[in-house]
DNA sequence: TAATTTATTGAAAAAGTTTTCAAAGTAAGT
DNA sequence: ACTTACTTTGAAAACTTTTTCAATAAATTA
């Protein structure tokens, strides 16, 4: 006794053709809005379709047309919190163009990545969108080696000719650093975030560029010791004994840890220490003082990536390969300048 | 000039058969680990497979086998924040059983739900997992009317015979309420959360049950006026002029709003007001005082739902239709008792 | 009216796999 | 050597569409 087949006869294009007294070809034409079918016949077929409750089988269509109208989305499994808006953007655009989304998550082990790709190849997705933080060079090489249209989202990628939608974090941090050094504050630290290695890299480069502009060298990277399960705990400790002019964190939770530790130790933010959280989130506005941050157009990142993908699949000439979206620095109560 | 086809000849089961000098049937048997193929032949075929880099076409397999090894996941588009762990649980189990996930999001308009179902039917997903907050009765009726195996996740559902993995929020709130009233605190309020209507309903029922046990009637539902875009702003206002013995919120952001408003108005939490946030999140531990909350086993909800689904698809007799997971009340610094 | 064009239809091939059934090969038993 | 049984293989049908090409019907033109 099968679960899905309650004795109901399955209805295929044959049934419809039979019911309407026409051939398969005609039914197919009706389904696909082909113009070359007589109005009267179309009516008959459409009636048969509703009468039988016929739904075309997308699998068979996929086989016949050699395309699945499915886009594979590859994201790190840890990052739904930050991917939320991106995914919403992706999905909204996907819906418009009638694409389905197949969700694949990486657990940052390399063997897994080739497994995922294997899976995507097998399932014949028309395209792949990859959130490319946490990817190693070799993983990106693997990805680039296969010929399905691909869009990288989130970070600038080295691979030339790769399609890429991103925010230039390096520039963001360069500007921030420059501003602070010019104002006379050069005791700046950046809190490491192991969960976002590629972003860390970009931030670091930006800060270093800012320092070297003023003939200084940046030495303020605070690494989270291995033994700490999450950075929150360590930061809570660290800021009991340390004080800096500007603390930069990647995630809101890290910023909140710094805030808590400073508050508990009587260090006033922003009077004594400025605090900036790179990745914007609702929570940076919910603590007191509100934490200065960069607004990242996550929804747009997702939406644009998907839009570019639809163009590629449509064989519209995609001239632009790189789409750089701009951040907005939001100066809130955790910073003086 | 096609994007995906760089002049490389596509390699099918035919190519492999030809290369290995056997028939399709034999190749198919090798792919599917059928035992009835001679060791020597198997070797030859396997060599041909790696030589040509053959990957079975899952679309064609889907057509031949009448199954897609794909599960459709339906969730509200607003809730990635809370769905994150659930999705991770789902995906981990899906990976084990080699199922793919197709992601569908609802924007809470009814017409859209039947569109989504249409889509799922067309794409011939083997099963559907639905996060069932935000669903109206009629939407659930629509869902129940179609014959693909389905698992509802998150909330207890009325439809009999529906497969259901959930946490009993009603019971949780009943116990909480009872405890407070017994301790002499009956000025209890519950903050409305428009984003989680079904959960609201359950919470309300639980509280009401607690009140009626003590022959009291609950009148403490605080509704967020229409004009407020998000509840945060309103709560910030409300708690400037109001004070209660116990405030219960659904989401962390609401709890933080209450916390901020109280702090600003010199109301001490927990001395004067107790604060409980129903849905646990990392953030409830990041503010000061830490906010008491219920630990919800989100990951397990997802994992179990998927496991049950695999059983259904395997036609293992699924005796249990309802799986109730237990919450854990975490008494933290925002409550006195 | 015959010839030509155009609009509409259907038969059949193609997409890439699985699976059934029959055939062929091999080993064992008499 | 001759059945009998078992192992291994292949041919062909099935899964459900789309699409090409040819055929027919209808409309137009000469």
CB atoms within 10 A of CB A219: 8
Q: Kindly state whether A124 is in contact with chain B, defined as any CB-CB distance less than 8 angstroms.
A: yes
pLDDT for the residue numbered A12: 95
CB atoms within 10 A of CB A141: 11
- Report the chain B residue with the minimal C-alpha distance to residue A147: B4
Q: Which residues pair with B241 in a beta bridge?
A: none
How far is residue A150's CA from residue A73's CA, in Å, rounded to a whole number?
10
CB atoms within 10 A of CB A52: 16
Contact B207, B177 (CB under 8 A): yes
How far is residue B12's CA from residue B284's CA, in Å, rounded to a whole number?
54
% of chain B surpassing 70 pLDDT:
96
Q: Which residues pair with B101 in a beta bridge?
A: A103, B71
DSSP state of B134: T
Confidence of residue B173 (pLDDT cuts 50, 70, 90): very high
**Residue B165: its H or E element:** strand B163-167
- Nearest to B31, CA basis, from B10, B51, B17: B17
One DSSP character per residue, B286-300 reads TSSSPPEEEE--HHH
Nearest neighbour of A80 by CB, restricted to B83, B119, B288: B83
How far is residue B286's CA from residue B293's CA, in Å, rounded to a whole number?
13
pLDDT for the residue numbered B317: 73
Per-position pLDDT tens, chain A of length 337: 233 334 456 899 999 999 999 999 999 999 997 777 899 999 999 999 999 999 999 999 999 999 999 999 999 887 787 889 999 999 999 999 999 999 999 886 656 888 999 999 999 999 999 998 888 788 888 888 778 999 999 988 888 788 999 999 999 999 999 999 999 999 999 999 988 888 999 999 999 999 999 999 999 999 999 888 877 788 878 988 899 999 999 999 999 999 999 988 889 999 999 999 999 998 999 999 999 999 999 999 999 999 999 999 987 777 789 999 999 999 999 999 8
- Cα Rg of chain B, angstroms: 26
Q: Which two tokens stand for residue A228?
A: 């700490």
Chain B residues touching residue A256 (CB < 8 angstroms)? 283, 286-287
Q: How confident is the model over B258-302, as pLDDT tens digits?
A: 999 998 888 999 999 999 999 999 899 999 999 999 999 999 999
Question: Which residue has the least CA–C1' distance to nucleotide C10?
Answer: A23
A122 touches strand C (CB under 7 A): no
Q: Kindly state whether A96 is in contact with chain B, defined as any CB-CB distance less than 8 angstroms.
A: no
Question: Which residue has the least CA–C1' distance to nucleotide D12?
Answer: B25
Q: Kindly state whether B149 is in contact with chain A, defined as any CB-CB distance less than 8 angstroms.
A: yes
pLDDT for the residue numbered A8: 56
- At residue B93's C-alpha, the angle toward residues B199 and A144, to 5°, is 110
pLDDT for the residue numbered A191: 96
Task: Name the 3-class secondary structure at A127.
Answer: strand
**Cβ contact A80–B81 (<8 Å):** yes
A63 touches strand D (CB under 7 A): yes
Sign for the CA dihedral angle at A195, A201, A204, A206 comes to negative
> Which nucleotides of strand D are protein-proximal, with an atom < 7 A from a CB?
7-20
Q: Kindly state whether B12 is in contact with chain A, defined as any CB-CB distance less than 8 angstroms.
A: no
% of chain B surpassing 90 pLDDT:
70
Q: What is the pTM of this model?
A: 0.92
**Cβ contact B63–A58 (<8 Å):** no
Q: Which two tokens stand for residue B324?
A: 């109730």
pLDDT for the residue numbered A139: 82
CB atoms within 10 A of CB B60: 16
Chain A residues touching residue B122 (CB < 8 angstroms)? 55-58
pLDDT for the residue numbered A135: 82
How far is residue A300's CA from residue B198's CA, in Å, rounded to a whole number?
30
Q: What are phi and psi of A214, to 5 degrees?
A: -100, 20
**Cβ contact B102–A105 (<8 Å):** no
More confident residue, A63 or B36: A63
Q: Which residue in this structure is represented by tokens 């007294």?
A: A21
Q: Which two tokens stand for residue A227?
A: 């033994």
Q: Kindly state whether B198 is in contact with chain A, defined as any CB-CB distance less than 8 angstroms.
A: no
In B 222-241, which Cβ lie closer than 7 Å to strand D? Answer: none
- At residue B273's C-alpha, the angle toward residues A266 and A258, to 5°, is 25
In A 18-47, which Cβ lie closer than 7 Å to strand C? Answer: 21-26, 29, 36-41
Q: Which residues contact residue B278 at a Cβ distance below 8 angstroms, ignoring those fewer than 6 apart?
A: B169, B172, B173, B199, B203, B248, B249, B250, B251, B293, B294
Cβ contacts from A onto B, under 8 A: 139
């Amino acid at each position: 006794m099968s679960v899905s087949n309650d004795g109901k006869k399955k209805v295929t294009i044959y049934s419809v053709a039979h019911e309407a007294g026409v051939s398969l070809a005609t039914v197919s034409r009706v389904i696909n809005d082909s113009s070359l079918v007589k109005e009267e016949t179309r009516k008959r077929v459409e009636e048969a379709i509703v009468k039988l409750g016929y739904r075309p089988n997308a699998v068979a269509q996929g086989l016949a047309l050699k395309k699945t109208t499915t886009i594979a989305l590859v994201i790190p499994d840890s990052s739904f919190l930050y991917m939320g808006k991106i995914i919403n953007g992706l999905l909204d655009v996907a819906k418009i163009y009638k694409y389905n989304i197949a969700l694949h998550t990486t657990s940052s082990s390399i063997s897994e990545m080739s497994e995922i790709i294997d899976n995507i190849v097998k399932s014949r997705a028309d395209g792949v969108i990859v959130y490319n933080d946490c990817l190693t060079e070799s993983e990106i090489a693997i990805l680039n080696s296969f010929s399905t249209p691909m869009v990288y989202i989130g970070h600038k990628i080295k691979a030339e000719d790769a399609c890429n939608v991103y925010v230039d974090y390096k520039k963001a941090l360069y500007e921030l650093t420059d501003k602070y050094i010019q104002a006379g504050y050069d005791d700046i630290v950046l809190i490491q975030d192991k969960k976002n290695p590629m972003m860390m890299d970009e931030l670091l480069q930006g800060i270093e560029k800012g320092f070297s502009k003023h003939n200084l060298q940046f030495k303020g990277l605070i690494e989270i010791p291995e033994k700490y399960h999450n950075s929150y705990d360590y930061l809570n400790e660290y800021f009991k004994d340390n004080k800096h002019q500007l603390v930069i964190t990647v995630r809101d939770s890290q910023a909140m840890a710094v805030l808590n530790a400073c508050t508990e130790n009587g260090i006033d933010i922003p009077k004594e220490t400025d605090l900036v959280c790179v990745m914007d989130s609702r929570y940076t506005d919910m603590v007191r003082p509100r934490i200065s941050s960069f607004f990242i157009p996550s929804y747009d990142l997702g939406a644009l990536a998907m839009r570019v993908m639809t163009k590629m699949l449509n064989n519209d000439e995609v001239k632009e390969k790189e789409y750089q979206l701009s951040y907005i620095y939001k100066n809130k109560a955790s910073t003086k300048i």
